[in-house]
Amino acid sequence: MIIRKKLGGRILVPVALGVAASVSGMALFSQGAAAATVSGSVGSANTNSLTYGGTSGAGNAPITNLKLDSSTIALGKTLFVENCSSCHGDSAGGTSRAPNLVGLGAATIDFWVSTGRMPLADPTVQAIAKPSRFTRAQTLAIDAYVSSLATGGPQIPVVNLGAASLSVGEGLFSTNCAGCHTITGVGDALADAVYAPSLYPATSTQIAEAVRTGPGNMPRFGTGNLSDQQVADIVKYVKYLQHPNNAGGIGLGHVGPVTEGFVGILIGLGSLMIAGYWIGGRAH
Which of the residues 157 through 176 are near another protein (CB under 8 A)? Answer: 166-171, 174-175
227 binds another protein (CB under 8 A): no
Q: How far apart are alpha carbons 172 and 62 in whole angstroms? A: 16
Pick the closest to residue 206 from 277, 116, 282 (CA basis).
116
Contact status: 46 vs another protein (CB under 8 A): yes
Q: How far is the CB of 250 from another protein (least distance, A)?
A: 5
Is residue 205 within 8 Å of 156, Cβ to Cβ?
yes
| 261 touching another protein, by CB under 8 A | yes
CA distance 233 to 167: 8
Q: Minimum Å distance from CB 19 to another protein?
A: 6
Q: Rounded distance, CA 270 to CA 247, Å?
A: 25
Residue 54 within binding range of another protein, rule CB under 8 A: no
Q: Applying CB under 8 A, which of residues 89, 239, 241, 242 lies at the interface with another protein?
A: 241
Query: Candidates 53-61, 70-78, 136-144, 193-201 — which segment interacts with another protein by CB under 8 A?
Result: 193-201
When asked if residue 152 is in the footprint of another protein (CB under 8 A), the reply is no
- Residue 2, Ramachandran bin (φ over 0: left; ψ between -120 and 50: alpha; else beta): beta
Q: Which distant-in-sequence residues (6+ apart) come within 8 Å of 217 by Cβ?
A: 126, 190, 194
Determine whether 278 is exposed, middle or buried from the number of CB atoms within 10 Å of its CB (0-12, 13-18, 19+). Answer: exposed
Nearer to another protein, 7 or 178 (CB): 178
State how far the Cα of 211 lies from the Cα of 219, in Å rounded to an integer.
8
Between 33 and 191, whose beta carbon lies closer to another protein?
191
- Report if residue 225 touches another protein, rule: CB under 8 A: yes
33 versus 278: smaller Cβ distance to another protein? 278
Instruction: Give φ, ψ of 12 to 5 degrees.
Output: -95, 125
Query: Residue 53, interface with another protein (CB under 8 A)?
Result: no
Cβ count near 30 (within 10 Å): 16
Q: Does the footprint of another protein cover residue 245 (CB under 8 A)?
A: yes
Return the residue of 54, 103, 131, 244 that touches another protein, per CB under 8 A.
244
Query: Among residues 68, 237, 239, 243, which is the contact residue for another protein, using CB under 8 A?
Result: 237
Q: Which of 41, 102, 188, 229 binds another protein (CB under 8 A)?
A: 188
